[in-house]
Structure formats: structure tokens, C-alpha cells
Amino acid sequence: MASFTALSPEPRVNHPDPKPVATTVAYLNGEWKPLTDCSVPINTHALQYGTGAFEGIRGYWDGTRINILFLREHFQRLQRNAKMLLMEPPTAEAMAAIAVDLVRRNAPKTNVYLRPLVYKKGTTLGPVLVNVPDGFLAYLQPLGDYLDTSKGLSVCVSSWRRLPDNSIPTRTKATAGYLNSALAKSEAVMNGYDEAIFLNDRGQVCEGSAENIFLIRDGVLSTPDRTADILEGITRKAILMLAADLGIPFVERAVARTELYTCDEIFLVGTGCQVSYVRAVDKRTVGDGSRGPITARLQTAYENAVYGREPRYAAWLTAV
Ligand SMILES: Cc1ncc(COP(=O)(O)O)c(C=O)c1O
């Protein structure tokens, strides 16, 4: 079986060190196998047409166990999304049980990232969602920081527009939609930026390639609303909950591009990037270029919650 090797940069210093774990076992359509033995036919519908819906879930190692963050919420979202894409996924509870089993079987001793996927496993020709059988798979890998946040992020407004809801709904976390993300992220990286910020087809600020965005103006936290062609992020919702609990005023609303150049603070959130502050947009420094005070409060509160240091948010975590 394959050895676990860290695929990402080291976690930040306040996180436990990543330690390689023994072997990685994955779930594929009812079977548990070494990840390297899991394969799909080359004519798989999802491979040919991008017909899948996925999740990204973090498990945080607290020194004795893995705490899976928002287990139920991720599988409820996956189940809803797969159904919207005319797939017949296992129940949210069944998928969550497989995820827990995945962690148990691999017994990692480092932060991990779980990737479940509902997909069209049929091999028939033609881009159609009906009458094509569905599959379900799940694997995990170690994951420290997804973005290097030590200096803050330098981002650009992408020349690529976000997929409109009436084309490929971003809300569904469909595999096909990530070509849009890949184009934007690649352009950003090739131009020396850390991340891309999409505008939607109405020209409003939307989200990053794999993150939701927040900005702060005059003490008020704003984030694009749920009709802005965003993925309705689970971290986004958690941040809004934390803001409410910390007494930080917030609003979900349309955000104009030039607000990014004139606001006091910006940060990105997501399962992967967690809370990552932005130091510049299109080479324009945000605030004084350092992490702003409201970002710092929310980032600290989020980290305390996900590492199980805040009993108030214990329900966010499933210990394995
Ligand atoms: C496009 C996009 N937006 C936002 C997010 C953040 O969502 P969540 O907080 O549920 O991970 C993701 C996560 O991968 C994403 O891919």
C-alpha cells in the first residue's frame, strides 16, 4: 500500500506538525482498497463530461484524534447537489459513515483533507444525466495550509467570469465547474498572484477559485450574497455565525469591484484556505498590507473552534 506523504506546505507554526501516516485506503463503490488500486474505466462518463459533484472536508488532528469539521453539513450539501444534478447519491448519513470509516481505517496523525465524490460511473456516450449509473468514492490526504498565508495573499481580479447559475451552477460544486476555477487560478499564478477573484456575469465580486470572499469597510463585514453565483460555503456560514457571536456587524450584498481597491480589510475563507487575509488586489495594497483587526478576531475565533478549543462550537466537530 502507498505511503502517506505530505502534498502541501507545512502547516502554520501554531498547528501540530504533520507526520506521515502509514497507508492510505480509499472507498470506491462499496469496496475498500489501497488508493493506488482504485481505478475507473477510461470511458467513465464523469471523466469524459465532468458529471460529478464533490466535497472537500477537513479533519483536524488535535494530538489524540481527528476532529472532522462540519461532517453532517458537507454531506447534506453533497446529497442536495447530487440530486439537483439528477444523480442518486447514498443518503447523507451513509456517506458520512463512510467518511468516518475512512478516517478510522487510515488513522492519520496529521491534519487531513477528505474528498468524497458522487459521479456518473456509466460508460455510455453522450452528455446526459438521466439513465447513467452513479458511483460514490472517497479518499483522504494530508493537508496543511492550502494557500501560503504567512505574508498575506496577493490576488487579482480575474479576466475570466464566474459561471452563471443558468450555465453550470457554482452552487452545486460540480466537477465540470472547476474548469472555470482552473482557468482563473492558472492565469493568476502565471501572472505571479496567489489567487484569482472572479466577477460574475453582472460584473459584481463573486468569489475566489476555491474560496468565498469577505471585505470590511468602516467596521462592517460584507460578503457577496447567495445569488451572486457563489458556492454557498460552509466556512462562509461559519464566519457569519462567528461575526454574529462576536458582535461584528455584517451584511450579505452585491459587492462592486472597486470596493476591493478601497476597503480596509479583505480575507478569503474556505475548507482549504480556512481564513486567509489578502494584502493586495491588483497590486493595490489593502489597508496597510497587514492582517486587519476584524480579520484577526475572526481568524482566531475560527481556529479556536476548529481545533476544539472553544466548547461553544463543539458541535462543529465529529471526533474520530
Ligand atoms: C468555488 C468555491 N467557493 C467557495 C468554497 C468554500 O466552501 P467551503 O467553505 O464549503 O469549503 C469552495 C471550497 O472548496 C469552492 O470551491
Atom of ligand 1 nearest to the CA of 70: 10
Of 112, 142, 172, which marks where a domain is finished? 142
**pLDDT confidence bin for 201, thresholds 50/70/90:** very high
Name the 3-class secondary structure at 196. strand
**pLDDT confidence bin for 14, thresholds 50/70/90:** very low
Residues 224-276: tens digit of each pLDDT = 999 999 999 999 999 999 999 999 999 999 999 999 999 999 999 999 999 99
Q: Which of 175, 205, 235, 274 to mutate to test the pocket of ligand 1 (most atoms within 8 A of CB)?
A: 235
Q: How many other C-beta atoms lie within 10 A of the C-beta of residue 16?
A: 15
Of 108, 142, 176, which marks where a domain is finished? 142
Q: Is the CB of 53 under 6 A from ligand 1?
A: no
Question: Residues 108, 168: one domain?
Answer: no
**pLDDT confidence bin for 23, thresholds 50/70/90:** low
Q: Is the CB of 234 under 6 A from ligand 1?
A: yes
Residues linked to residue 117 through DSSP beta bridges, in sequence order? 54, 137
Residues 270-293: tens digit of each pLDDT = 999 999 999 999 999 999 999 999
The pLDDT value recorded for residue 43 is 98
Is residue 318 situated within a structural domain? no
Q: Average the pLDDT over each of 81-95, 146-160, 285-299 and give the range with the smallest value.
A: 146-160
- Average pLDDT across the chain, whole number: 92
| DSSP per-residue string spanning 205-251 | EEEESS-EEEEEETTEEEE--TTSS----HHHHHHHHHHHHHT--EE
Question: Residues 265, 285: one domain?
Answer: yes
Nearest CA to ligand 1 atom 15: 210
Question: Residues 278, 161: one domain?
Answer: yes
Is residue 7 situated within a structural domain? no
Is residue 314 situated within a structural domain? no
Owning domain of residue 227: 153-306
Q: What amino acid positions are annotated as catalytic residues?
A: 173
68: which residues sit within 8 A by CB, 6+ positions away? 57, 58, 59, 99, 100, 103, 114, 317, 318, 319, 320
The amino acid at residue 65 is R
Q: Is the CB of 18 under 6 A from ligand 1?
A: no
**Mean local confidence (pLDDT), 144-165:** 91
86: left (phi over 0), alpha (psi -120 to 50) or beta: left
Q: How many domains does the chain have?
A: 2
H/E stretch holding 261: helix 259-262
Residues constituting the chain: 320
The pLDDT value recorded for residue 147 is 79
Q: Which of 115, 231, 235 to mutate to test the pocket of ligand 1 (most atoms within 8 A of CB)?
A: 231
Distance CA 250, CA 265 (A): 13
